[in-house]
Structure 1
Amino acid sequence: MDDRQFRDAMGKFATGVTVVTTKVDGNVHGMTANAFMSVSLNPKLVVVSIAEKAQMLEKIKQSGTFSVNILAADQQELSMVFAGQVKNHKEVVFEHLNGVPVLPNSLAQISCEVSASHVEGDHTLIIGKVIDIRVEDSEPLIYSSGKYRLLAEESK
């Protein structure tokens, strides 16, 4: 199999969309990620997978904290901004959850301390111990096969 076939196959798995943020020297840094999952309930742990070449990896290592912002359906532009797909955009406003920058109106804001990291292939898995969480009730932003999607209403 070649790289394109592997990427296409992995893209068939529909995911939510997150923006991972951190703060270093007073500056907020963020990146869009869909490689995110919960790991453990006790203790409460999550994991994000970050490419070795991503600038965000070093920023999280420097700060020792990060947040995962699970995006709502109306936050597609934010996903594109933090993926580097939108160059001319309005300034992004942040709130803080337990001292870590978060995106307002996200479905969930999860503030974490780095618990461990593991290099696997060309990515590092960052394990975060959840220190605070805030949840909203809205529809999620979904990504599948290279496109943003919305959940369909349940048919009865």
Structure 2
Amino acid sequence: MIDPKLKRALGQAAKGVEVVAAAHDGVTRAYTSHWVTQVSFEEPIIMASISPKHDTYPLMKASGEFTVSFLAGDQVHIGQYFSYPGRKFHYIAPEYLTLVEGRPVVPDCLAWVHAKIFDTLPMRDHEL
């Protein structure tokens, strides 16, 4: 169990809100994340953290890729839509996620990136 003071301190780190999404074999899933960061400049590399229990995880593993949509300030409702742990979607409303170049992206987000997975690292209850 994390110490409440440490949890509060870590929660003060400046961060945006992103929607991480993956698609494979006609199935698309996504989740809201605060744990996406750039880790390299010369060769642009980003890191995303995901729980193997999340329904997006097997799609990321199977497809070997994912997208990150960086949300605008007026897209809080979209972040909330994808933020519930273990939420199982029978469909995803097109106003929240659409395909761009065959990849799932939040419409009208500030920016989005397509990432190819080249390595993973287990970290207790999540994987990077």
TM range (shorter): 0.7 to 0.9
CA distance in 2, matches of 1:12, 1:63: 34
Out of 105, 115, 131, the residue aligned to residue 108 of structure 2 is 105
Aligned position for 2:58: 58
Aligned position for 1:26: 26
Deviation of residue 3 (structure 1)? 3.9
How is 1:1-156 mapped onto 2 (pairs within 5 angstroms)? 2-84=2-84, 91-93=93-95, 94-125=97-128
Moved more, 106-115 or 47-56: 47-56
Q: How many residue pairs get matched? A: 122
CA distance in 2, matches of 1:46, 1:16: 14
CA distance in 2, matches of 1:6, 1:97: 39
- Aligned-partner SS, 1:15: coil
> 1:7-34 deviations in whole A, cap 9, x for unaligned?
2221111310000011122121000001
Greater strand fraction, Structure 1 or Structure 2: 1
* TM-score, normalised relative to structure 1: 0.69
- Aligned-partner SS, 1:117: coil
Deviation of residue 117 (structure 1)? 0.6
Q: Percent identity?
A: 30
Aligned position for 1:152: none
Task: Let me know the Cα RMSD of the aligned residues.
Answer: 2.2
CA distance in 1, matches of 2:18, 2:54: 16
Q: Which amino acid aligns with 2:94?
A: V
Moved more, 48-57 or 114-123: 48-57
CA distance in 2, matches of 1:121, 1:9: 20
* Structure 2, unpaired ranges of 5+: none
Structure 1: 4+ residue segments shifted above 4 A: none
